[in-house]
């Protein structure tokens, strides 16, 4: 055994390499966390089915892949810049106190640069490989989420999440534009579905974390209004959402698969919304109000509805 092969030196070198690899992996995970990947998943679930509907079948797979990458980068950019701007709020709120900018794993300046680079990559990729309309829509989505929702509305009005939903709704317009190079009424109906879905999806979550938002000074509707008022608004937006989903049948047009799915899923969504309203009317508070039941179902609703959108072009009308 040579001097360089001494067991203690080998062990020390291995430990250092392991520690370095762990630090790199932790940093990578932290940057990914800035992009809020769970939110991106929901956005992308709506993009591919929209592209299938626009193509009336299977669009080129390369186009689907590039559009998904571009849409992911755009959403990741918007979410990262949101984390940068809201880091003071995240510090106060219990459910966000472990985000990378709060814990100090990532410096704010690095996050700002990361968000800007993601935006440039998204717009550049879509402009060069897909088309200029898709790129312009992606830029609009980023700008709206960061400038209008995060900087202007979120801290000033309980209507914040209502209008903030427009940014998330842009993915269907991007998907449609990627396939056709233009926009018709059908993608705007899908836009309306997601736009109207956002309040009854997010307000139940806000009800669950009402104290967090109150402590951070964010006027989410459940902070400034009673549970009964919020539940009534949830029911109203749910009806509007279901109506918009059924409007796609004559506008697209779609066949019986989508029509049946939209009707059944909409009925279940309304049932859950009215159950929340019933508990609020009965004066139920705290955990017994169980707003997260509707929140979790709302994710299933939008996912299954767009599965029906994807299947519709392949099944006879």
At 119-138, the pLDDT tens digits run 999 999 999 999 999 999 99
pLDDT above 80 for 83: yes
Together in a domain, 203 and 135: no
Domain count, the chain: 2
pTM reported for the whole predicted model: 0.89
Indicate whether 156 belongs to any domain.
no
Residue 62's contacts (CB-CB under 8 Å, 6 or more residues apart) are: none
**Per-residue pLDDT, 26:** 78
* C-alpha closest to that of 71 among 137, 18, 117, 23: 137
Percent of the chain with pLDDT over 90: 73
- One domain, residues 135 and 206: no
Residue 104 forms part of a structural domain: yes
Q: What is the mean pLDDT of residues 159-185?
A: 94
Domain that holds residue 261: 184-317
Domain of residue 306, CATH code: 1.20.120.1780
Would you say residue 128 lies in a domain? yes
Cis peptide before 253 (omega within 30 of 0): yes
What SS3 class is residue 155? coil
User: Does residue 196 sit in the same domain as residue 290?
Assistant: yes
**What is the Rg, in whole angstroms, of the alpha carbon atoms belonging to the chain?**
22
Task: Give the other-Cβ count within 10 Å of 294's Cβ.
Answer: 24
Residue 11: pLDDT band (50, 70, 90) is low
What is the number of alpha carbons within 13 Å of residue 214 lying toward its C-beta? 9
Instruction: Read off the pLDDT of residues 22-69 as tens digits, 9 standing for 90 and up.
Output: 677 878 888 999 998 877 777 778 999 999 999 999 999 999 999 999
Whether 175 is covered by a domain: the verdict is no
Q: Are 228 and 300 in contact (CB under 8 A)?
A: no
Residues 134 and 210 in one domain: no
Asked whether residue 93 falls in the same domain as residue 192, the answer is no
Q: How far apart are CA 148 and CA 136, in angstroms?
A: 17
Give the CA diameter of the chain: 81
């Amino acid at each position: 055994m040579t001097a360089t092969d001494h067991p203690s030196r080998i062990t020390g070198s291995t430990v250092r390499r392991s520690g370095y690899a762990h630090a790199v992996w932790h940093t990578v995970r932290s940057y990914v966390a800035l992009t809020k990947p769970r939110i991106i998943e929901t956005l992308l679930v709506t993009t591919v089915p929209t592209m299938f509907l626009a193509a009336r079948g299977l669009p080129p797979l390369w186009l689907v892949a590039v559009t998904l990458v571009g849409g992911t980068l755009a959403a990741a950019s918007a979410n990262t810049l949101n984390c940068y701007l809201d880091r003071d709020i995240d510090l106060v709120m219990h459910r966000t106190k472990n985000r990378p900018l709060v814990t100090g794993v990532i410096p704010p300046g690095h996050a700002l640069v990361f968000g800007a680079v993601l935006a440039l990559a998204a717009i550049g990729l879509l402009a060069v490989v897909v088309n200029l309309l898709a790129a312009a829509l992606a830029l609009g989505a980023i700008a709206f989420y960061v400038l209008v929702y995060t900087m202007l509305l979120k801290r000033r009005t309980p209507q914040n999440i209502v209008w903030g939903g427009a940014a998330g709704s842009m993915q269907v317009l991007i998907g449609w534009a990627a396939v056709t190079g233009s926009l018709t009424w059908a993608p705007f109906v899908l836009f309306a579905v997601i736009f109207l879905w956002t309040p009854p999806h997010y307000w139940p979550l806000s009800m669950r974390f009402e104290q967090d938002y109150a402590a951070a000074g964010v006027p989410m509707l459940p902070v400034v209004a009673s549970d009964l008022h919020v539940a009534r608004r949830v029911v109203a937006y749910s009806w509007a959402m279901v109506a918009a989903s059924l409007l796609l049948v004559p506008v697209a047009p779609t066949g019986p698969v989508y029509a049946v799915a939209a009707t059944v899923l909409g009925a279940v969504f309304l049932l859950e919304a009215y159950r929340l309203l019933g508990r609020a009317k009965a004066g139920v508070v705290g955990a017994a109000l169980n707003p997260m039941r509707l929140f979790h179902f709302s994710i299933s609703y939008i996912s299954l509805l767009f599965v029906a959108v994807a299947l519709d072009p392949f099944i006879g009308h």
